[in-house]
């Protein structure tokens, strides 16, 4: 499936509006890996294939995802699906907590080893909680570009101010900050009011939206069957948005998603993803995950239509009114 590509920040990378988030390939290893149900290598391979067949051309993983198991699983799946290293666009991340910027260069060999010959198109600072300054982290990342280890630099969970500092630090080295990966969905639009979206647009930085389906909430399935959440692994069942009062508050958004979905022969989740990648022009891309082939196919189906401006605005209004 060929889908219109868009430029990642001010880079020369042309990416699909949706990428595949690969946290779920963690093999239940490590603290964050246990959030997901176990997937076999065959499962991973089929999910990657369904994503590629649906038009996705890039993949987001991280050092912390299964202590490298996600990187390894992704690389293995790409190889089994016949994807050449020159055709793969892979984004990974360095984990800063408890570390200084010097570990960025010390750990890059392991990132590349885990990826088994696939290059790192985008290397990201996973969060702003490291011991070193933004400037020192950006200097270390710039060194990796100049050493030929990575192609572009991004950040994740950075505020508007911190993103600007990262941008300026890289600019002094002659490089560009191309992305900021943050939580963003039709049910979580905080980056529109805290300056992050505005600053990204000003600087030409792409917003990569993670958790774009609000952990499955936008599907409407938890609103239809409130007992369903009790069967889920992980922390979702304890979150306010999945409790009775939270579901009541988000019901108007879900109702609107369902109504509009009928007009496009789509699902509410597909409409929610389409809204994310179109409401702000080309500024926002998204990385939904998938633990099943049908989920991967549903996700990519969100790139097969474009919501009208009327429907984009309609969803924008009803979700603006939503407050958890």
Instruction: Give buried/exposed letters for 73-91 (b at 16+ CB in 10 A, else e).
Output: bbbbbbbeeebeeeebbbb
Helix (H) or strand (E) holding 285: strand 284-286
Beta strands in 160-228 (DSSP E): 177-183, 206-210
Asked if 264 and 308 touch (Cβ cutoff 8 Å), the reply is no
Q: What is the Cα–Cα distance from 214 to 184, expressed in whole angstroms?
A: 8
Question: Counting Cβ atoms within 10 Å, is residue 71 exposed (0-12), middle (13-18) or buried (19+)?
Answer: buried
Q: What is the Cα–Cα distance from 261 to 313, expressed in whole angstroms?
A: 15
Distance linking the first and last C-alpha atoms of the chain: 37
Instruction: Give buried/exposed letters for 155-189 (b at 16+ CB in 10 A, else e).
Output: bbbbbbebbbbbbebbeeeebbbbbbbbebbbbbb
> Which residues, in sequence order, are bridge partners of residue 14?
7
Q: What is the Cα–Cα distance from 131 to 134, expressed in whole angstroms?
A: 9
Residue 174: strand, helix, or coil: coil
Active site residues: 65
Question: Of 212, 162, 161, which Cα lies nearest the Cα of 188?
Answer: 212
Q: How far does CA 140 lie from the centroid of its chain?
A: 23
Q: Which residues contact 50 (CB under 8 A, 6 or more apart)?
A: 290, 293, 296, 297, 300
Rounded alpha-carbon distances, angstroms, from residue 82 to 61, 69, 87, 154: 19, 20, 10, 27
């Amino acid at each position: 499936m060929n889908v219109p590509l868009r430029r990642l920040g001010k880079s020369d990378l042309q990416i699909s509006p949706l990428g595949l988030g690969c946290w779920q390939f963690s093999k239940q290893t490590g603290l964050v890996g246990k959030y997901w149900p176990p997937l076999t290598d065959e499962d991973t391979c089929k999910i990657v294939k369904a994503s590629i067949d649906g038009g996705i051309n890039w993949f987001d993983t991280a050092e912390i995802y299964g202590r490298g198991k996600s990187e390894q699983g992704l690389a293995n799946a790409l190889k089994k699906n016949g994807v050449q290293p020159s055709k793969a666009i892979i984004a990974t991340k360095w984990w800063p907590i408890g570390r200084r910027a010097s570990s960025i260069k010390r750990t890059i060999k392991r990132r590349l080893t885990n990826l088994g010959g696939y290059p790192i198109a985008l290397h990201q600072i996973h969060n702003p909680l490291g011991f070193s300054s933004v400037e020192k982290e950006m200097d270390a990342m710039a060194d990796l570009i100049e050493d030929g280890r990575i192609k572009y630099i991004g950040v994740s969970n950075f505020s508007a101010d911190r993103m600007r500092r990262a941008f300026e630090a890289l600019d002094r080295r002659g490089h560009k900050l191309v992305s900021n990966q943050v939580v963003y969905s039709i049910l979580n639009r905080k980056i529109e009011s805290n300056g992050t979206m505005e600053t990204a647009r000003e600087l030409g930085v792409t917003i990569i939206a993670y958790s774009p389906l609000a952990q499955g909430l936008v599907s409407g399935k938890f609103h239809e069957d409130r007992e369903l959440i009790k069967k889920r692994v992980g922390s979702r069942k304890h979150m306010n948005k999945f409790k009775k009062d939270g579901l009541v508050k988000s019901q108007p958004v879900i109702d609107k998603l369902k109504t509009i979905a009928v007009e496009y022969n789509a699902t509410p989740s597909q409409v929610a993803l389409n809204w994310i990648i179109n409401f702000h022009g080309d500024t926002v891309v998204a990385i939904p995950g998938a633990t099943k082939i049908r989920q991967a196919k549903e996700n990519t189906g969100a790139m097969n239509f474009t919501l009208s401006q009327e429907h984009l605005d309609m969803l924008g209004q009803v979700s603006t009114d939503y407050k958890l």
